[in-house]
Amino acid sequence: MATIYDVDTNKLLEKTAEALKKTENVTMPDWATFVKTGQAKDRTPAKPDWWFMRAAALLRAIYIKGPIGTSKLRIKFGGKKDRGHKPEVFRKASGKIIRLMIQQLEKEGLVKYEEKGVHKGRIMTPKGKSFMDKQISMKNGPGGTEKKKAGAAPVAKPAAAGRKAAAAGAA
């Protein structure tokens, strides 16, 4: 079975976002069409379903790095602010958006709060892991999304017998 590291991230996020749209607890608030996702952004997101894509990206980040808190997720989704002729400065992403998405994912039962030693934050529940594994396995069906292995040379197709005969006859 493929793992979360073996599949194409973009296709996985698209598939997970589509599945999150069908859930009852993950919904886009009315005000979400008017907000930026952080200080570093100049405009609101261009895609109308950005809320679900970001929620899918949060799920993937929690799956890989959990336990992880809101502060670390704000850093992960932050960016550099363009300040004109002054040097760029890193700014965190919006905390309210991330907190609200995490609360929605908790209500859906996909993530939960836990402390492991000195680390505290959200981790995936068994339901959340099976949800993500289901998305991964669905993407590896027909037309799969497994990443191509680096350094693998493409296999050359053998030439048709008719071409070889024509080339030999012309020479």
Q: What is the pLDDT of residue 34?
A: 92
Output DSSP code: residue 146: B
Domains of the chain: 9-149 (1.10.10.10)
Determine the 3-state secondary structure of 59 from DSSP: helix
Structure tokens at 52: 């679900």
Q: What is the pLDDT of residue 51?
A: 94
Q: How confident is the model at residue 142 (pLDDT cuts 50, 70, 90)?
A: very low
Give residue-wise pLDDT tens across range 83-117.
Answer: 999 999 999 999 999 999 999 999 999 999 999 88
Question: Partners of 169 in the beta sheet?
Answer: none
Largest CA distance in the chain: 77
Determine the 3-state secondary structure of 133 from DSSP: helix
Structure tokens at 39: 């200080």
Q: What is the distance, to the nearest Å, from the Cα of residue 91 to the centroid of all Cα atoms in its chain?
A: 21
The region, left, alpha or beta by phi > 0 then psi within -120 to 50, assigned to residue 91 is beta
Encoded amino acid at 106, one letter: E
For range 40-66, the mean pLDDT: 92
Q: How confident is the model at residue 3 (pLDDT cuts 50, 70, 90)?
A: confident
DSSP for 122-143 reads EEE-HHHHHHHHHHHHHHTSTT
The model's pTM is 0.77
